[in-house]
Amino acid sequence: MNWDQARRILHWDGRRADAAPAGPSRRRLAGPGLATRSLCIASGKGGTGKSVVTASLASLFAATRRVLVVDADLGVGNAHILQDVAPERSLVDLVEGRASARDLVAICAQNLDLLPAGSGVSHVAALEPWELARVAGAIGELERDYDWVLVDAGAGISAQTVALAAASERTLLVTTPDVTALTDAYAFLKVLVQRDAGSAPCFVVNRATSAGEAAEVAERLRGAVRKFLGRDLPCLGWLPDDRAVTRCVNARAPVVRHEPDSEFAVALRELARRFEREAAGCGPTIGLGQRLARLAGDT
């Protein structure tokens, strides 16, 4: 691969195109026999809005399904902040042998639970294979109670982040028009397809100022992926640069719940509908925990 050529294709020159109720029961809402769907929300770099997107998608899915959010940004997780909960335990306690999987589950809202990552614990930022296998076991134990498992992955291309993306049924990559975000998104995709040629990534352009800007940004990323990775990368849409997002983060609440009529919330609802339509009627699959355990053994 010619990295300099890929960077030129991804370069963005800055010109604008035309312009909670009581805790939920443990019964799955989808009914018996239906598969648990898994979606990893990832980004090549921090600051793209990945966790904001995850929080709102989780809230939307939870309207009709049981949802588990796995905060996989181990050691520096912040998914709990966006759900306004303060978990006493986290995956750090699981990895270090102080807690079981069910000890960790934090109830966020009706039908919505969180598996917290912990914060300010640097030594778990890069897990050993046996530690990743322990996390896989916890997810495998819990996911049978849920219809959706959303993985809020750590930014970047660490081995555990890529393994979680490869183990998930779909990976949604969140990028922005910034050239650094695009370049890092391409780098993430390159590592992901090298790890798992059968992965099914897609992406969304966040913080776009117009549909035109989003379309141009999307084509830059798709063009680089076609040319250098030989793959077609679906773009599932774009999310506007909306001040409502900052207000909702400061309020420690998902945008779709705190400002449901905002432009960002309207766009997120369409994104959620696309995933729900795709998941409808899908047959049983191997669980996320089982797939992750296999990948941990190969790490």
Q: What domains, with CATH codes, occur in the chain?
A: 37-298 (3.40.50.300)
CA distance linking residue 21 with residue 109, whole number of Å = 6
**Of 20, 43, 33, nearest to 207 (Cα)?**
43
pLDDT above 70 (res 274): yes
Q: CA 91, 204, 62, 108: dihedral to nearest 10 degrees? A: 40
Per the CB < 8 A criterion, the answer to whether 137 and 289 are in contact is yes
Per the CB < 8 A criterion, the answer to whether 127 and 16 are in contact is no
**Of 195, 234, 241, nearest to 218 (Cα)?**
234
Cβ partners under 8 Å of residue 151, min gap 6 = 38, 39, 40, 41, 69, 70, 72, 164, 165, 168, 288
Confidence tier at 127 by pLDDT (50, 70, 90) = confident
pLDDT at site 299: 59
pTM of the model: 0.88
**Secondary structure of residue 164 in the 3-state scheme:** helix
Take residue 98 and report the two structure tokens written for it.
């102080």
- Residues 12-24 have pLDDT tens digits of 444 333 333 333 4
pLDDT above 90 (res 208): yes
**Secondary structure of residue 150 in the 3-state scheme:** strand
Take residue 33 and report the two structure tokens written for it.
């026999």
- Residues 132-157 have pLDDT tens digits of 999 999 999 999 999 999 999 998 99
Take residue 205 and report the two structure tokens written for it.
């352009």
Take residue 259 and report the two structure tokens written for it.
């400002």
Cβ partners under 8 Å of residue 281, min gap 6 = none
Name which of 49-63, 124-138, 173-187, 252-266 the model is least confident about. 124-138
CA distance linking residue 147 with residue 141, whole number of Å = 14
CA distances from 52 to 34, 194, 229, 268 (A): 28, 28, 29, 10
Sheet (strand 235-240) strand order: 106-109, 112-115, 67-72, 148-153, 37-42, 170-175, 201-208, 235-240
pLDDT above 90 (res 113): yes
Cβ partners under 8 Å of residue 32, min gap 6 = none
Per the CB < 8 A criterion, the answer to whether 81 and 116 are in contact is no
